[in-house]
Amino acid sequence: MKKKGPVFRKYDQNQPMLLPPSYDELIPENHPVRVVNEVIERIDISGIERGYKGGGASSYHPRMLLKVLVYAYLRNIYSSRKMEQALKENIHFMWLSSGAKPDHNTINDFRGKRLSGELEKVFSEVVQLLAGEGVLSLKEAVLDGTKIEANANRYTFVWGKTVKGNRERIKEQLKQLWAYVEKLYEDEEQTPNEPDFEAMDPEAVERAIEEINEALKDKETDPKTRQKLRYAKKNWPKKLAEYEEKEKLLNGRNSYSKTDPDATFMRMKEDHLGNGQLKPAYNVQASTEGHYILNYTLAQTPADTSALKDHIESYLKKYGGAPESLTADAGYGSEENYEYLGERGITGFVKYNWFHKDVTDKKRREDPFLSDNLRYDEETDTLYCPAGKPMDYIGDKERTSAGGYLQRSRLYKAVNCRGCPMRGPCHKAEGDRVVERNFNLIKHRRRARELLESEEGIEKRKKRMTVEAVFGNIKQNKGFRRFNLRGIEKVTTEMGLIAIAHNLQRFSKARFA
């Protein structure tokens, strides 16, 4: 019996169709692109529309461009050129744009300029729409931060310490030049008045150099000193103007990138040991609920501590009210933050630095020499040393945080530690032991521990890892580890796009599960 050959289905590329299919017929009902289309259709984008001027040639509709951008970020497409290509080749993009084909310049202009200052409102509209669908709640939030690399050269940077050191070097060299003047005048009764070396601005330095030159006008001067003064007159005022400009860009930061001055050099945890290199980056703060992003802000400093207040203020601006509770790790557990959360009426399930040691380390809790464990009599304001002797109150100590918050501590000094039999384990430094007590911070930490150890607090702590899962999805699954735009305004816009895309992708999965 003869073996039958393979049978192939017939296809004919030239076969005409009486009724050509529409784009809509080719897209499944449960496809994420339909969710993007539906949600963006329902939100108010009048703020974006107002940015367009009347007259001239017609523009692509901002709602269509917004749909294309959000869906592109949902599909891990971040390049405007690849978006342009998708609008010509991908049926989902063609359906969203109704066949329109804006080029990459139009897409990039819309993303970088038209959405600037407006996307945060769009994001909050999307979040409130999802809250109305019952998939998330705005009443509780989990906050954490992650660093995302900036679109900047990794090797062109300015360090704050270097700028400060260069200013001080000019100041010291000016003082040395004046010391030379004083040496020439040491045998004379009339010595010129010393210039002001504290005002280190270009004009003041220029005046100081002129005064030194004037003082040396009729004196026999070392040629090298004359040469140095000529160099100083030509270069130092210009250099100081440059340093002033750099300090304005630094704005209290320790560094910035020359190719994106808003980016700060931060240590990136890129390997399993967390030994990443210093790279220009932004500290992205995100508050989440049930794996949805409720709010995002960008900080230009690596520490999370100083970012909490701005993040909550942004939350208030977006939604008109703060969350009822906030859960966060020890990176946010400062006196300033506890105080701020209390003022805003937010229940803070926020750890402090050694919370876990206080809970699990019995030896620490019972250590009689630990300053936190020393007995304190509130009525008499008396602190007792481990030997049971009262310590003398010797004054207060004040510190001001980078955010301007004033911390006050009381200082207590032990009496005659030299003859105490407990001196060895209690106090190894010279002199009598001095203990610093910040009673306001102690009160806040005690309250935080009570909340964190309650049944509700234990549940909140379990949920804290949800924000880590969100960051993992953005960085690993979506491959978004580096911004494509430059400048904090544009980077904030791009973070908004990735946040909207993340939320709609999760919403799509929940809807069609």
Please check whether residue 342 is in contact with residue 445, taking contact to mean a CB–CB distance below 8 angstroms.
no
| Helix or strand holding residue 399 (H, E) | strand 392-400
- At residue 155's C-alpha, the angle toward residues 153 and 160, to 5°, is 105
Please check whether residue 484 is in contact with residue 79, taking contact to mean a CB–CB distance below 8 angstroms.
yes
H-only helix segments in 29-75: 32-42, 46-49, 62-74
- State pTM to two decimals: 0.89
| Helix or strand holding residue 347 (H, E) | strand 347-350
Tell me how far apart the alpha carbons of residues 496 and 300 are, in angstroms, rounded to a whole number: 17
The predicted pLDDT at position 11 comes to 82
Please check whether residue 48 is in contact with residue 122, taking contact to mean a CB–CB distance below 8 angstroms.
yes
Phi, psi of 298 (to 5 degrees): -120, 130
Tell me how far apart the alpha carbons of residues 140 and 292 are, in angstroms, rounded to a whole number: 12
Position 506, amino acid: R
Tell me how far apart the alpha carbons of residues 199 and 205 are, in angstroms, rounded to a whole number: 8
Q: Please list, residue by residue across 2-35, b when 16 or more beta carbons sit within 10 angstroms of its beta carbon and e when fewer do.
A: eeeeeeeeeeeeeeeeeeeeeeeeebeeeebbbb
Q: What is the pLDDT along the chain (513 residues), one digit of tens a residue?
A: 667 778 888 887 777 776 667 888 889 999 999 999 999 999 999 999 998 887 778 899 999 999 999 999 999 999 999 999 999 999 999 999 999 999 999 999 999 999 999 999 999 999 999 999 999 999 999 999 999 999 999 889 999 999 999 999 999 998 888 888 888 877 666 777 787 777 788 888 888 888 888 888 777 778 888 898 889 889 999 999 999 999 999 998 999 999 999 999 998 876 555 567 889 999 999 999 989 999 999 999 999 999 999 999 999 999 999 999 999 999 999 999 999 999 999 999 999 988 888 888 888 888 889 988 899 998 889 999 998 999 999 999 999 887 788 999 999 999 888 888 888 889 888 889 999 999 999 999 999 999 999 999 999 988 888 899 999 999 999 999 999 999 999 999 999 999 999 999 999 998 887
Phi, psi of 268 (to 5 degrees): -95, 130
- At residue 321's C-alpha, the angle toward residues 320 and 322, to 5°, is 145
Encoded tokens for 283 = 């500290």
Beta bridge partners of 384: 390
In the three-class reduction of DSSP (H, G, I as helix; E, B as strand; rest coil), residue 124 is classed as helix
The predicted pLDDT at position 270 comes to 67
Write the DSSP string, 210-232. HHHHHHTTTS---HHHHHHHHHH
Which residues have C-beta within 8 Å of that of residue 377, sequence separation ≥ 6? Answer: 383, 384
Please check whether residue 302 is in contact with residue 267, taking contact to mean a CB–CB distance below 8 angstroms.
yes
Annotated domain spans of the chain: 24-49+58-138, 158-256, 264-356+450-495, 357-438
Which of these, 266, 323, 315, lies nearest to 286 by C-alpha position? 315
In the three-class reduction of DSSP (H, G, I as helix; E, B as strand; rest coil), residue 476 is classed as helix
The predicted pLDDT at position 6 comes to 84
Beta bridge partners of 278: 267
Which residues have C-beta within 8 Å of that of residue 122, sequence separation ≥ 6? Answer: 43, 45, 47, 48, 66, 115, 496, 500
Phi, psi of 324 (to 5 degrees): -70, -30
Please check whether residue 63 is in contact with residue 40, taking contact to mean a CB–CB distance below 8 angstroms.
yes
Classify domain 264-356+450-495 by CATH number: 3.30.420
The predicted pLDDT at position 359 comes to 83
Tell me how far apart the alpha carbons of residues 310 and 318 are, in angstroms, rounded to a whole number: 12
Tell me how far apart the alpha carbons of residues 247 and 240 are, in angstroms, rounded to a whole number: 10
Tell me how far apart the alpha carbons of residues 71 and 93 are, in angstroms, rounded to a whole number: 8
For CA atoms 324, 328, 330, 333, give the dihedral sign.
negative
CA neighbours within 13 Å on the CB side: how many for 495?
29
